[in-house]
């Protein structure tokens, strides 16, 4: 997927950077290249130019374009997993608070950036990446879905709601994914905050005693 914004300046690499740091910088450059040029048109040379290094250095770390793209996909998937796991671990045990943590995690400014969203779309749209994704990242997705379903089940029980937890979890998940796509829209773009409120509106439709469009409702205090 192409982006009309001006191309970023080269990502400078310290001369004596560690191997891990150089690999990360090259992955960051790949994300930028995917955002500008899409999956098919991203090349090792383009990544090298974006990173401000030689083509040989990129080849030294990743051998082939396929390996570079695979490592970039794995990085994005692990970053997403680590983000929601950390949010869930920091949340109270209450299911409404845990659902809120998962919703907010999807719009963390570290993972919900224009470049990363376009890179994700590039992978989603590229058929060649799907077998790799399912093999390497499918377990991560399943873990997220199971956690979301379990939290929804506990909230349905706690609030005496009449919903299928699995169906609610699915609607919430595809709504969040849909807002990610909408954030890239060139027709009627809107902010990350508006995307978050859109998912909150979805949560409020299922759990009106616990959520509204502004987020998690504060517990009422009886006087």
How much is the pLDDT for 147?
Answer: 98
Q: DSSP 3-state assignment of 188?
A: coil
Fold of 67-216: Tetracycline Repressor; domain 2 (1.10.357)
Please list the helix, strand and coil fractions of the chain in percent, rounded to the nearest 5, in that order. Answer: 70, 0, 30
pLDDT in tens, 24-77: 999 999 999 998 888 888 888 888 988 888 888 888 889 888 899 989 999 999
Q: Tell me the domain boundaries of the chain.
A: 67-216
Asked if the model's pLDDT at residue 175 lies above 90, the reply is yes
What is the arithmetic mean of pLDDT over 151-159?
97
Q: How confident is the model at residue 211 (pLDDT cuts 50, 70, 90)?
A: very high
Q: How confident is the model at residue 17 (pLDDT cuts 50, 70, 90)?
A: low
Q: Which residue, 172, 150, 161, is CA-closest to 104?
A: 172
């Amino acid at each position: 997927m192409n982006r009309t914004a001006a191309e970023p300046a080269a990502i400078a690499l310290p001369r004596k950077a560690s191997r891990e740091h150089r690999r990360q910088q090259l992955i960051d450059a790949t994300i930028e290249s995917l955002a500008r040029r899409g999956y098919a048109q991203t090349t090792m040379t383009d990544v090298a130019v974006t990173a401000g290094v030689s083509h040989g250095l990129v080849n030294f770390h990743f051998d082939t374009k396929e390996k570079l793209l695979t490592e970039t996909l794995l990085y994005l998937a692990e970053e997403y997993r680590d983000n929601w796991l950390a949010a869930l671990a920091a949340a109270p045990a209450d299911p409404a608070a845990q659902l809120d943590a998962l919703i907010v995690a999807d719009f963390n400014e570290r993972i919900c950036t224009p470049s990363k969203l376009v890179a994700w779309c590039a992978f989603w749209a590229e058929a060649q990446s799907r077998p790799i994704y399912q093999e390497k990242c499918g377990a991560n997705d399943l873990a997220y879905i199971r956690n979301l379903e379990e939290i929804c089940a506990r909230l349905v029980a706690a609030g005496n709601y009449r919903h299928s937890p699995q169906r609610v979890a699915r609607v919430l998940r595809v709504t969040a994914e849909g807002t990610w796509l909408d954030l890239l829209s060139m027709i009627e773009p809107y902010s990350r905050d508006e995307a978050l409120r859109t998912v909150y509106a979805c949560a409020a439709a299922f759990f009106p005693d616990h959520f509204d469009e502004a987020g998690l409702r504060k517990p009422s205090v009886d006087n």
